[in-house]
Amino acid sequence: MSFKDYLRRDVRLVTLRILSEMPEYRANSSVITNVLDQFGHAATRDQVKTELRWLEEQGLIQLSEVGSVLVATLLERGQDVARGRATVDGVAKPGA
């Protein structure tokens, strides 16, 4: 696995963990981008939106579009992945 792939997998896990800490398990792409930066991931808003769409395709989150931002809601399967109770190829495992 390349370093770029490793980072992408970690961004996906951290995104799920961010959502698991949010009220109603929801946050918009701008908030997620800012929190990812605090965790050491310098992702652009476009990159974050791409990863959010990927997470939605995997059935881990639900997205809605509000103006220029995406609003992500964590689904039950996404919460299981964030906690390490389930695995999805392409998302880092907690603690790994």
Output the pTM of the full model: 0.94
Neighbouring C-beta atoms of residue 53, cutoff 10 Å: 13
The pLDDT value given to residue 96: 56
Alpha-helix runs per DSSP H in 39-95: 45-57, 76-83
Range of the domain at 10: 3-83
Q: CATH number, domain at 32?
A: 1.10.10.10
Task: Look at residue 88 and tell me if it is in a domain.
Answer: no
Total domains present in the chain? 1
Domain assignment of residue 71, yes or no: yes
Q: Is the dihedral of CA 90, 55, 87, 84 positive or negative?
A: positive
Distances (CA, A) of 60 to 51, 67, 69, 72, 91: 11, 22, 18, 10, 11
Contacts of 17 (CB under 8 A, 6+ apart): 82, 94
pLDDT by position in tens, the chain (length 96): 899 999 999 999 999 999 999 999 999 999 999 999 999 999 999 999 999 999 999 999 999 999 989 999 999 999 999 999 999 999 999 985
Query: Is residue 96 assigned to a domain?
Result: no
